Amino acid sequence: MGFLRDRAESQLAVDKLLDFLIDRGYTAHELEGKKEQKSGDIRFYLDGNLDSPMDIEVKFDKMSKRTGNMCFELANKKGMTGIASTLADRVAYVCPVKDGFDVFLFVTSELKDFLYNTENKNKVKMKNGGDGNRFLLALVKIDTIISEALFIERWKIDA
């Protein structure tokens, strides 16, 4: 039940972000199928130029409001997962707020550099969590994300 509920909530975040991008005039569509989704969840085109696609990995965290953290999945016992394994150009982190969603858009390579940089060990807390503590997670306070200006855009999406 938990997996199906989490999957439905994640799909809602993808749908909301996709609608938001289309409403802003972007040509965009959802990536489907296991092979295509290695590149992310949404493909959009800057200025309608179909020769320059950009892929977005969408991460939804229903607990971010309560914890004050963003949680980035990095690995499980089989290898890299989540942020560490995505081929997407951008990561959209969707946080539920009182009247909708707060979306932080990151350049994937810059986000990975920040998470793995040992100079940031006081800003990034690595821990095991998830099902049976099988996942390596990087926790970063939302206040740190904001104060360090790690995101390239921040959007508010109505519920």
The secondary structure of 74-140, three-state, reads EEECCEECHHHHCCCCEEEEEEEECCEEEEEEEEHHHHHHHHHCHHHCCCEEEEEECHHHCEEEEEE
* CATH code where residue 29 lies: 3.40.1350
Number of domain units in the chain:
1
Residue 85 has pLDDT above 90, yes or no: yes
Task: Quote the pTM value.
Answer: 0.91
Tell me the C-alpha distance between 7 and 43, whole Å: 19
Radius of gyration (C-alpha) of the chain in whole angstroms: 15
The predicted structure's pLDDT at residue 1 = 43
Tell me the C-alpha distance between 88 and 99, whole Å: 28
Sheet holding 27-30, edge to edge: 27-30, 42-45, 53-60, 90-97, 100-107, 153-158
Mean of the per-residue pLDDT values for the chain? 91
Which residue range forms the structural domain that includes residue 75? 2-158
